[in-house]
Amino acid sequence: MIPEYLYNAKLKTSSNDLDDFKAVYKFFKPKLFIIANSYVPSKEDAEEIVHDVLIKLWEKRGKLDVKSNYVGYIYSMTRNACLDYLRAHKNKLSKVLISDQQELWLNYNALSNDAYSTIIVNELQNLVDNAIADLPEKCQKVFIKSRVDGLGHKEISEELKISTKTVENHITRALRELRVVLKEYLPILFF
């Protein structure tokens, strides 16, 4: 049986039943998590905030004097808890952002230095060549004709006697494989 407060979102102020708490928790947790996660960058911290809000709500259920909108009250509690978290962790969060910016700056400086840049370009070229060599034969041919020879999809399909959709599929697969191989380098390449 679904408790009354799930229909009208009002808490039974006299209830001490653990099943009622579990039902409230289960009902509100996903909704509150979405709100908390929109404010707080870490999923773990957002889950902890939601947990704390629901515990606080349950502990104060006998003292609550909300006349109309319980759902709005609970959402406001979550928003305020997120804002409190952000205020408390303001310095820590800005230090994390600063360290990320420093890492990107170091990557940029390394790429702007010609000696290091040449080393990285050679390393990337070897990774790309190896990734292309590991592709299935047809996929490899299509990718080389597209990206190295500069042929269009229609030209490749006519030359290899395959459909343009097959050409697109081969290119998509090749690019997916390259993304996996180059995942460490993508932030550097697109800085």
Please give the model's pTM, rounded to 2 decimal places.
Answer: 0.44
Q: Which token pair is 150?
A: 């500069």
Identity at 62, one-letter amino acid code: G
pLDDT for position 36? 84
Identity at 98, one-letter amino acid code: I
90-112 helix and 70-88 helix, angle to the nearest 10 degrees:
60
User: What is the dihedral angle through the alpha carbons of 81, 83, 89, 95, rounded to the nearest 10 degrees?
Assistant: 150
pLDDT for position 172? 93
> Under a CB-based contact definition with an 8 Å cutoff, are residues 11 and 57 in contact?
yes
Q: Which token pair is 170?
A: 């081969």
Band of residue 16 on the pLDDT scale cut at 50, 70, 90:
low
Band of residue 99 on the pLDDT scale cut at 50, 70, 90:
low
> Under a CB-based contact definition with an 8 Å cutoff, are residues 79 and 35 in contact?
yes
pLDDT for position 180? 86
**What average pLDDT does range 73-98 have in this prediction?**
74
pLDDT for position 187? 56
Range of weakest confidence among 84-98, 156-170, 173-187: 84-98
149: DSSP letter: S
pLDDT for position 92? 63
Q: Is the pLDDT of residue 123 over 80?
A: no
Q: Is the pLDDT of residue 169 over 80?
A: yes
